[in-house]
Chains A and B, each alone.
Chain A
Amino acid sequence: DAGVTQSPTHLIKTRGQQVTLRCSPKSGHDTVSWYQQALGQGPQFIFQYYEEEERQRGNFPDRFSGHQFPNYSSELNVNALLLGDSALYLCASSDRVDTQYFGPGTRLTVL
């Protein structure tokens, strides 16, 4: 039973570019949440998807958008990248609001 998977593992972009990160949830899970974790900080909630709809959103600008597909996998898109967007982006899946299983993350570096 595969856990949560994310791709790519690492990514380097330049300011102004756009990036798409991908997540496949744990088998049986229908809810996907995305987090941004800066170095030395706790994860910051970006948004959550359930039944292909954005169910909740944290305090992130509209440059951050997402999508959930019928197979429950999800994408996180970030437009007009800023240096401050450099972070570890974590995807977490759950079958309820409660217990979340995190993926290994995508390390994004913006130069």
Chain B
Amino acid sequence: GQQVMQIPQYQHVQEGEDFTTYCNSSTTLSNIQWYKQRPGGHPVFLIQLVKSGEVKKQKRLTFQFGEAKKNSSLHITATQTTDVGTYFCAGIRNRDDKIIFGKGTRLHILP
């Protein structure tokens, strides 16, 4: 069954508002990756987090990896129309190195 849960499934925000998506794993992860998929496109790698409690920033995007290495979040500050798409987390399981994708959070920006 699904072992990486991602919430919310959908999010509508006004342009300029902030957005956050959360990822939770039932098992400890060795690392976690985040991808963005535009409508009709393919997943594009954004970042990888490896260390417990790690925080990384890419311009308006902030990524966090939980202390227990079981959860992660992606926060976008002041969303823009170019942020539209589905954001996926993908956890690499500690016990067997298998990659498990979440179902994604679809972000829609209201002008």
Interchain CB contact under 8 A, B88 and A43: yes
Kindly specify which of B12-20, B56-64, B99-107 makes contact with the partner chain. B99-107
| A104 x B48 contact (CB < 8 A) | no
* Contact present for A105 and B42 (CB under 8 Å): yes
Digitize A43-75: 1 where CB-to-B-CB distance is under 8 Å, 0 elsewhere: 111000000000010100000000000000000
How many residues of A are counted as interface, with CB atoms below 8 angstroms from the partner's CB atoms?
Answer: 21
Least CB distance from B51 to A in Å reads: 14
B-chain residues with CB within 8 Å of residue A33 when the two chains form the complex? 99
| Chain A residues positioned under 8 Å from B90 (CB to CB) | 42-43
| Neighbouring A residues of B88 by C-beta, 8 Å | 42-43
Q: A45 CA to B48 CA in the complex, in Å?
A: 18
Q: Answer whether residue B78 sits at the interface, using C-beta atoms and an 8 A cutoff.
A: no
B67: chain A residues at CB < 8 Å are none
A42/B45 contact (C-beta < 8 A), A56-B97, A56-B98 known:
no
The interface residues of chain B lying within 8 Å CB-to-CB of A90 are: 42-43
CB distance from B25 to the nearest CB of A (A): 13
Find chain A residues with CB under 8 A from B43 CB.
43, 90, 92, 102
A41 to B103 Cα, complex, angstroms: 5
Within 8 A of B (CB), among A91-111: 92, 97-105
Q: B92 at the A/B interface (Cβ < 8 Å)?
A: yes
Please give the distance in Å from B10's CB to the nearest CB on chain A. 10
Asked whether, in the complex, the Cβ of A101 is within 8 Å of the Cβ of B98, the reply is no
Expressed in whole angstroms, the Cα–Cα distance for A40 and B92 within the complex equals 22
Name which residue of chain A comes closest to B1, CB basis.
A59
Given A33-B99, A97-B92, 10 extra CB contacts under 8 A: A42-B6, A44-B101, A45-B101, A92-B43, A98-B31, A99-B45, A100-B33, A102-B35, A104-B42, A105-B42
5 contacts between A and B (CB under 8 A): A98-B48, A99-B45, A100-B33, A102-B43, A102-B44
